Amino acid sequence: MKKVIIRKGAFLLLALIILFSISACADKAKPEKQNKPQESESTREGKVKPDTSSQKRDPSESQVQESVTTTKPDSQDVSSESTANSDGQKEVTFARLQPGIIYEDEMVKISVDGVETVQGYGDSKILFSYENKSDLTLNFSDDYVIVNGIVLNLNIFGSILDPRTTNQASLDLTTYELEKAQITHVSSVEIEMTLVNNETWEDLYALPRLTVPFKEDAGSILPQKEERVLADNEAVRITLIKTVQDEDGILCHMFVENKGSEEINASVSDFVLNGVEIGGYGFYADIPVGCKGILEIYLSSIQLKDNYHIDTMKDFSVTVELASDSQSDYKFIDDLPVYP
């Protein structure tokens, strides 16, 4: 028993000796801390920032970079893309597009390949593949391009095909047309198209309205900003969306919504400014059923001053004329108060 106690005591004593030895060695190994010298006020003030203005710079750093993003045809769907202006501000976004065949019969096949967006200057495009299965030279003539339910003045390029060939076509979504319609997010594109014999200019047949497949439905389309409703009945709804007066003249944009059962043609006449009937420029719009068209009105300031001696707009009204195939005579909606 005593031997066990002596052994334990010797073991503990040995352990203490080893512990003290390790501690002493560690203290010797530690370097002494040195106080970092502080800069005096005169030293800090005497320091001069090096001049880097003479260094060479890459010229491309000061230029706006333009890049193109094109979707691949074999992708399952296309993520939302956006275009940006030179300041980097987002302008137009796209819903998720699903590439694939949107129409096919014994003569033709039409597929959507994707969206091409441009960072910087330029217009976005929707890419298509057209296939001509026939022995005729065909023109895939687009009658209407409808974006978010609004008829825009847009065209599809690359639509004439030789017999038994395939070609890529593109729908250019111009910034001017999108801004005019107040569209910042594209989630619905429809196309009405007619097949034409390009050699004889004979209309072969009209295709059903084609729909570019987006994942978002029409319910996701944000409503356009409307300034004032000018007329609303069972046939049409006319809304003023923009009136601008500047040194060049007066510009007005109106939505005309076709609520009837057949296509209508809308135009503008009878410009009355400050109680005086004057001349002006009004652009017509053909509007399919269930869609909106844009009526544009322009009055030149030079004409107003020289011909009518008008400098300031006090009140302005117009007449909208409507026509259809079943209605041979125009229907007039008179004295719509464009301003105020």
CATH number of the CATH domain containing 158: 2.60.40
Structure-token pair, residue 84 = 């940006």
pLDDT for residue 117? 81
* 171 and 87 part of one domain: yes
Flag whether 52 is in a domain: no
Q: Which of 110, 115, 82 is nearest to 98 (CA)?
A: 115
> Hunting for tokens 């400014």 — which residue is that?
273
Flag whether 5 is in a domain: no
pLDDT for residue 17? 52
* 108 and 246 part of one domain: no
* 209 and 164 part of one domain: yes
Integer Cα distance of 259 and 255 in angstroms: 12
pLDDT for residue 20? 52
pLDDT for residue 210? 97
pLDDT for residue 219? 62
Structure-token pair, residue 198 = 């390009």
The number of distinct structural domains making up the chain is: 2
Collect the ranges in the chain with pLDDT lower than 50: 1-8, 10-12, 14, 18-19, 21-69, 71-76, 79, 83-89
Flag whether 306 is in a domain: yes
* 192 and 95 part of one domain: yes
Q: Which residues pair with 132 in a beta bridge?
A: 108, 165
Q: Containing H/E element for 270?
A: strand 264-273
* 252 and 321 part of one domain: yes
pLDDT for residue 77? 54
Point out the domain boundary residue: 185, 220, 255.
220
pLDDT for residue 67? 39
Q: Are 175 and 186 in contact (CB under 8 A)?
A: no
Residues 6 or more apart in contact with residue 179 via CB below 8 angstroms? none
Residue 245 to residues 251, 283, 298, 312, 329, Cα–Cα distance (Å): 7, 18, 10, 9, 33
Full domain range(s) for residue 102:
66-220
Q: Containing H/E element for 143?
A: strand 138-147
pLDDT for residue 327? 78
Point out the domain boundary residue: 197, 220, 243.
220
Structure-token pair, residue 28 = 């010797």
pLDDT for residue 330? 81
Flag whether 103 is in a domain: yes
* 210 and 304 part of one domain: no
* 169 and 311 part of one domain: no
Count of CB atoms situated within 10 Å of the CB of 172: 17
* 294 and 192 part of one domain: no
Integer Cα distance of 209 and 288 in angstroms: 11
Integer Cα distance of 114 and 77 in angstroms: 9
Flag whether 147 is in a domain: yes
Flag whether 48 is in a domain: no
User: Which CATH number does the domain housing residue 289 bear?
Assistant: 2.60.40.1230
* 72 and 213 part of one domain: yes
Count of CB atoms situated within 10 Å of the CB of 92: 19
Flag whether 53 is in a domain: no
pLDDT for residue 291? 96
Q: Distance between the two ends of the chain, CA-based, in angstroms? A: 115
pLDDT for residue 89? 43
* 189 and 259 part of one domain: no
pLDDT for residue 61? 38
Flag whether 330 is in a domain: yes
Point out the domain boundary residue: 220, 238, 268.
220
* 76 and 216 part of one domain: yes
Q: What's the whole-model pTM score? A: 0.73
* 332 and 271 part of one domain: yes
Dump pLDDT digits (tens) for 161-217.
999 999 999 999 999 999 999 898 899 999 999 999 999 999 999 999 999 999 876
SS3 per-residue string spanning 74-120: CCCCECCCEEECCCCCEEEEECCECCEEEEECCCEEEEEEEEEEEEC
Query: What distance lies between CA 219 and its chain's CA centroid?
Result: 18
